Amino acid sequence: MKQHQHHHQGFWRMWGWPIVLGVLTTFGLISALFSDGGLGDILAWIALGIPCVVCVWYGWWRKPADSKA
């Protein structure tokens, strides 16, 4: 039973944030598709902007860790 619980924690530790970002992106795209101004557009901008900011942060601005190989 402990191994199953450990496997479950490992799954969420590895895939938790990518799943959250995927759901947020999906919500933003659907909101942008079906909204016609107002609150829907604001929600779409926020929901699509957060994954973009995360990608820029981890892709370009964050310094790589020192690797001692």
Tens-digit pLDDT profile for residues 38-67: 999 999 999 999 999 998 988 887 676 665
How high is the pLDDT of residue 9? 83
**pTM: predicted TM-score of the whole model, two decimal places:** 0.72
The type of residue at 46 is I
Give the DSSP H or E segment for 18.
Answer: helix 2-34
Q: Give the max Cα distance, the chain.
A: 54
